[in-house]
Amino acid sequence: MIVSVFTLFLFSNPVTALPADSSLAVSSPGRRCGPVAQFYNPTQSDWANHNVDQWLASWMKNHSSDISKNANGFAGAFGQWATGDPNWSCQKDGETNNCYADPCDNRVLNDKGDDIRPAFYVLQSMTKLHGYFMGMSESWEIASGLAAFQQTGWSTTFYQPKNNDKTISTIREILNALTAIIGIGLTVATAGAAAPVAATAASMATIAGAGMSAGAIQLQADKDDTLKQDSDLGNLLATIVKNTVGEFITINNDIFKGKNYNNQGDITAYLKNGAFVNFPGANEVAMIDTMDDFFKATAVNQLWRQQKVFIMGGGKCGDGQGLGSGPKDYGICRDGKAWYLYYWHEGDNSLSEKRWGYVTMPPGADQFGKNNYQNVTIADVINSSIDSYNVAEYNYDANKAQERVKEAIEGAWRNPGAQGTSWEGTFTIPVCDVSGAANQPWYLKQYILQPYADNSRPVWCGAICSDDWGKTSRFINAANMGGFQSPKHLCTERGIRIHY
């Protein structure tokens, strides 16, 4: 059984929670607070309407000398200028009140005239951003050696390897997906299930980029650690995630000092458009649940990608068009087109018909939609793979996954975490659109698609993928069927030339 790796991280020990609202304190309504009181409860619209981005950029330019001289950089200089507090730093240094102040009756702030409003907005945003990073880090700080994928043999549910060395190399590659998953999780933590909006998209993309960068740093450092069996994946994952937490603290400390963390942007990129001026707080539990689902799904994808697992379809739903029929329980109708998930089980080297193998469901596919995999479905596998194919054909790798996560958030056209494991790149099972075969006179084309059965064997006597030999050949290789004779031996026996 695979339990939630991230749930273990969060709940294996008690943690001290941050205050539910880490805003600057607002005193009771009956108390006089000075001019700043009229600017309480700001919104992103307030930030935009009063040009706070431009105001902050101008402030930093005009106070560059103060920032460079202050031991705590930007936060130290801004905090002292705005509140008079020389200890304001927003650093993770053991102090709990170094990014927090009561603006009410603060004479320094209330004497700023026209600068009161933007200064207060920036102070509140800094407090909330600091609380966000500290909350995220404390959620994972307790990570121990425990992890989800810690039971010996868990991988055999989805993978039947020919040798153990291949299993280990395959499992190690699963870790490459972790970087993009961190970015997806951070999006859920900041936006929840909502789609990104233009006002906050830039800030969210910066945070996701910084998180993915942090994960990549730790992945590079730790992924080659000892991994002798599949159960070691859990401990290695725990190490990488725990070390990534340390990078969250580094991100916080760097940006508040005025630095640009790993070329992801300085403090202005995180505060842009008032993204944090009224931020309600991170949803760490939703983030952890989302990352858990994505990691399980991508782990299965990586295992399946080493086997003869593929997706075929593209014809009209409910109409075989003379191309055969697929397994309905492992197929979907998308935009009027039918698509099916297959696994070509290799033959038994006997002299019977079974020596050519047969098509059936991929190993472990019946586990989806229930128990540990209840939030991952066959529809997710097919939809995610088709979207991956449409973006990068058979070349959707870990780098493309990170790139597309950031593009989706920055462009405000999708929240990958809210979409769930149907998000592109989660699954990259090779796809072949066979609809073009409907108008071809190919031999035995009625067997291109087949239902699952131990005597069910497709026959492909043409350029089955988009009526294109080059694309068909790329599909065959992507699906690990290069040199595989089963789908074409009846064609070659008849003298038909096959170019894959």
pLDDT at 394: 98
Instruction: Write the pLDDT tens digit of every residue in 372-383.
Output: 889 999 999 999
The 10 Å CB-count burial string (b at 16+, else e) for 437-465 is bbebebebbbbbbbbbeeebbbbbbbbbb
Give the model's confidence band at 185: pLDDT under 50 very low, under 70 low, under 90 confident, else very high: confident
256-312 confidence digits (pLDDT tens): 999 999 889 999 999 999 999 999 888 877 887 888 889 889 989 999 999 999 999
Looking at the predicted structure, is the pLDDT value of residue 137 above 70?
A: yes
Q: Cβ contacts of residue 73 below 8 Å, gap of 6+?
A: 67, 256, 257, 258, 259
Report yes or no: 462 and 437 within 8 Å, Cβ to Cβ: yes
Would you give the DSSP letter of residue 449?
Answer: B
- Cα 129 to chain centroid, rounded: 21
CA angle 73, 284, 148 (to 5 degrees): 115
- Per-residue pLDDT of 210-256, as tens digits, reads 888 888 877 777 666 566 777 777 767 767 776 776 788 899 999 99
Q: Judge residue 110's burial from the number of C-beta atoms within 10 Å of its C-beta, 0-12 exposed, 13-18 middle, 19 or more buried.
A: middle
Which is nearest to 398 in space by CA: 422, 428, 429, 362? Answer: 428
> Could you give the maximum distance between any two Cα atoms of the chain, in Å?
94
Q: Given the DSSP bridges, would you call strands 309-316 and 431-433 parallel, antiparallel or unpaired? A: parallel
Q: What is the DSSP string of 1-60?
A: ----HHHHHHHSS--PPPPS--SPP---TTS---GGGGG-S--HHHHHHTTHHHHHHHHH
Confidence at residue 163, expressed as pLDDT on a 0 to 100 scale: 59
Gap between the Cα atoms of 103 and 82, Å rounded: 10
Three-class SS of residue 392?
A: helix
- From CA 390, how far away is CA 379, in angstroms rounded? 16
- The 10s digit of each residue's pLDDT in 67-121 is 999 999 999 999 999 999 999 999 988 777 899 988 999 999 999 999 999 999 9
Q: Which residues make Cβ contacts (< 8 Å) with residue 460, sequence separation at least 6?
A: 448, 487, 488, 491
Show the tokens assigned to 240: 């990488």
Q: What is the pLDDT of residue 147?
A: 47
The whole-number pLDDT of residue 388 equals 98
Give the pLDDT mean for 393-410: 93
